[in-house]
Structure 1
Amino acid sequence: MRVGRVALVCLVGLAAATARANESDRTSPFTQSTPEAGEAAEEHVCRVDSFVRDGVPLRAGVVRSEGREPRPFLLADEGGCPVDRGRSCQIGSPLSVGEALVVSHSFRHFVCAARTVDGGIRSVGWLPRRAVRTADVDPDPPIDAWPGDWIGGAGMLSIRPGVTERLLEISATALAGEGTRADAAAWLNGAASPDGQSLRVADEFGSGCRVDLRLIGSLVFASEQGACLAGARFDGVYTRRDDAP
């Protein structure tokens, strides 16, 4: 009988300890990266569709060694990430020292970074600040940096000088589908003047399609803002045709 009481006490103690441990896990800063007081929920998000943000300048970046982690990984934005830098948070393959990145907004001691490849975004995720060296790019590129034919993913941008000094004429096409067998296509034609790095284009035929372009060095980031055709999107990273692989 005494043995039974001892066993029962042990079980109750173990259950209480487990409950305390679980509560500790839920509140520990090392397993939770949800926004703290004063932080907006969207600050925690680092994904392709939130990479380009109004009022947040994009910067060029280069991966550098953290010392203890010579080849860092991009980190996810949920399930305790990026504060928990375990394997379940790691995105894709490790970054290489010297690899070029584009850097957007920040969250605590992390920056939202994009790897680009073949005219598109390869992956987006959080990266510790100390693992990337950033450099400001021209906040107001000259007007002649914009014109040209730009390709990215399934889209193409044609930017030409307009009828006035600061006006540019833009025509764009985006396809959805594999190869030449497109399931859907979207078109955009309009004219606009750059505002610093940004060029906001609305379709001149009144379709409601709007696209924000951001010129960062030799790359154009496109973010679809309006009702373009479902299934075919202009979102992505574009490189000048002459520079494309």
Structure 2
Amino acid sequence: MARGPKTTLAAVLLLLTGWAGPSRAEGAGCFHFGYELQDLEANRDVYLGRINALAPRVNFVKRAVFGKGCPNSSAACKDKAYLVPGDEVVISGGDGDFLCASYPGRKGVVTDGWLPRGAVSAVPEEPVAAPHGWIGTWDSGPEQTIRIEAGAQGTLRIKGDATWGASDPGRVARGAVNIGELDGEAPVRGAMLSFGMGEDGPLPYDEADEADCRVQLRRLGAYLLVRDNAMCGGHNVTFTGIYRRR
């Protein structure tokens, strides 16, 4: 698990041993998960990596905005937060000797950034057992929770709550916290779920338009990846992120 102060944006480095993994979006900047992520089902460049045993710990590496000329292997670019062998990360891009990764900590807080490519091994994606591989309560940081339950006729019921500003005592005191919610049902399609929410209730994902709430969920290793279209709640509220099951 990540040690040291949380870095807002960092990077992870991948060693491809055996299985080569999917093709990766190379040369892009390393932003937080979901910043530039498009359709979760169409974008298979997002995959799972595991910190290997080449070093006892692997520090995140600063982005260029936090260190001139970074990422590189110099001491000046080394960040304080680090991972240890066995930690699993979500890989979403790369740049030369570095890969962009996100690590969800045990409490759901995500560290994003660069690490040297040779420190992470690609993990082959495995089938997700339905429904047990989905059912449970999933958290992403202090303001996003999704609950998945068995639904009717082999579907899954997805409920969620998200806020923006609930961690700010001033906003709470002013009543300025924005909220959002999910309430939908969808059939499992491999490692994917998707649904929409319109004015009259839940919709199939493909029948919802951009003014409706549209949500995609993907199981990856121990994680739940979620992407919405920023139409599932008040201003700045989103369910997009990486979740861990309680």
Q: TM-score, normalised by structure 1?
A: 0.66
Match of 1:115 among 80, 103, 107: 103
Residue 99 of structure 2 contacts residue 115 of structure 2 at CA under 8 Å; is this kept in 1? yes
For residue 44 of structure 1, give the secondary structure of its aligned residue in structure 2: coil
* Correspondence list, 1:40-51, <5 A: 43-48=27-32, 49-50=34-35
Question: Separation in 2 of the partners of 1:42 and 1:211?
Answer: 26
Match in the other structure for 1:9: none
Q: Does 1:235 align with 2:219?
A: no
* Correspondence list, 1:58-137, <5 A: 58-65=47-54, 71-76=58-63, 80-82=69-71, 84-87=72-75, 89-137=77-125
Q: Does 1:214 align with 2:205?
A: no
Residue 139 of structure 2 contacts residue 146 of structure 2 at CA under 8 Å; is this kept in 1? yes
Question: Separation in 1 of the partners of 2:187 and 2:64?
Answer: 35
**Unmatched 5+ residue regions in structure 1?**
1-39
1:121-151 Cα distance to aligned partner (Å, 9 max, x none): 432112222111231231x312221122222
Q: Percent identity?
A: 25
Question: Separation in 1 of the partners of 2:81 and 2:96?
Answer: 24
Residue 59 of structure 1 contacts residue 135 of structure 1 at CA under 8 Å; is this kept in 2? yes
Letter paired with 1:234:
F
Distance 1:189 1:204, change over 3 A: farther
Paired positions, count:
197
Residue 63 of structure 1 contacts residue 98 of structure 1 at CA under 8 Å; is this kept in 2? yes
Greater helix share, 1 or 2?
Answer: 1
Match of 2:184 among 185, 190, 193: 190
Distance 1:50 1:184, change over 3 A: closer
Residue 119 of structure 1 contacts residue 238 of structure 1 at CA under 8 Å; is this kept in 2? no
Letter paired with 2:195:
V
Question: Separation in 1 of the partners of 2:91 and 2:162?
Answer: 25
Distance 1:66 1:150, change over 3 A: closer
RMSD (CA atoms):
3.1
Larger radius of gyration: 1
Question: Separation in 1 of the partners of 2:107 and 2:199?
Answer: 28
For residue 130 of structure 1, give the secondary structure of its aligned residue in structure 2: helix
CA offset at residue 57 of structure 1?
3.8
1:45-101 Cα distance to aligned partner (Å, 9 max, x none): 22113475522242141244369xx6432342555432x344554444233344333
Higher relative contact order (CA 8 A, sep 6+): 2
CA offset at residue 117 of structure 1?
1.2
Q: Does 1:169 align with 2:157?
A: yes
Question: Separation in 1 of the partners of 2:96 and 2:193?
Answer: 30
Letter paired with 1:223:
R
Q: Does 1:148 align with 2:136?
A: yes
CA offset at residue 198 of structure 1?
2.5
Q: TM-score, normalised by structure 2?
A: 0.66
Residue 46 of structure 1 contacts residue 112 of structure 1 at CA under 8 Å; is this kept in 2? yes
